[in-house]
Structure 1
Amino acid sequence: MTDQPPPRVTATDAARALLDEIRRDHPDILFHQSGGCCDGSAPMCYPVADFRVGAHDVHLGAVAGVPVYISAPQFEAWRHTQLIIDAIPGRGGMFSLDNGRERRFLARARVFTEAERATLDAAEPPPRPET
């Protein structure tokens, strides 16, 4: 057992490969996971300069050097799970950088174990953006 909390977000090899492709065109990107209406709850990938992280968004961590944020209400609903960003065949979200690449990002989740939850609860809460 370790005292280190588990990462709140990870990515599959398929997602990392798609990120590598996107970064060739857009080197400075971020993910935002919301419960939005337009593209459901798909993790959306944006150029950093084109997306303003909200004051109530939560920074979950990073995958392949790409920061991942989640809306505060979604974080509260999913705080007991590890977000796993995957990539599957299909059309990406209308505003997301995976659009037009015939692969799209997909959010999967794994429920933290009781021991993992205790370690996370004892750690500092995830940071919120500076306001």
Structure 2
Amino acid sequence: MKKSRVEITPKAANIVTQMIAQHGELIFHQSGGCCDGSSPMLLPKDDFYLDESDILLNIIASIPFYMNIDQYHYWKHTHLTVDIIEGRGSSFSVEIPLGLRFIIHSRLLTEEENTYFNNLEKATLGID
């Protein structure tokens, strides 16, 4: 089974599918504390500027999931699951008008996952 740092619940994936149909190409970006705390934001691809400080953690529900490298250092020991709940967030995320918001559930990586991702980072990102 392929290891992943980020996954998505079926309920959240369903909303993503609806948002793709409505807005076209989208990205997830894990907020670094601005706006709505540290909620994942689902944004039109062309409305968000990605640069070399943003890293791709996974593709979930056909959407790339990015996080700023500085934020990543705080979260690197966790597995993230994107979910959706009722409630209004205060971000620019495209699901907000539906009265919904994406949230993150996190857990610590297992020892096996931690070793796997540490080795992967060294090989691909040069991160220790």
Same fold (TM over 0.5): yes
The alignment-based identity, stated in percent, is 36
Q: Structure 2: which 5+ residue stretches go unaligned?
A: none
Contact 1:81 1:110 in 2 (8 A): yes
Tell me what 2:57 maps to: 60
Whole-Å Cα distance in 1 between the matches of residues 110 and 31 of structure 2? 24
Matching residue within 41, 47, 62 for 1:44: 41
**Runs (4+) of structure 1 moved beyond 6 Å?**
none
TM-align CA RMSD: 1.9
Query: How far does residue 14 in structure 1 lie from its aligned partner after superposition?
Result: 1.4
Number of aligned positions between the proteins? 125
**Which structure 2 residues correspond to residues 3-14 of structure 1 after superposition, within 5 A?**
6-14=3-11
TM-score of the aligned structures, taking structure 1 as reference length = 0.86
Query: How far does residue 23 in structure 1 lie from its aligned partner after superposition?
Result: 1.0
Q: Structure 1: which 5+ residue stretches go unaligned?
A: none
Tell me what 1:81 maps to: 78
Change (3 A) 1:71 1:96: same
Which of structures 1 and 2 has the larger relative contact order (alpha carbons within 8 angstroms, sep 6+)?
1
Change (3 A) 1:5 1:102: same
**3-state SS, counterpart of residue 39 of structure 2:** coil
Q: Which amino acid aligns with 2:81?
A: I
TM-score of the aligned structures, taking structure 2 as reference length = 0.88
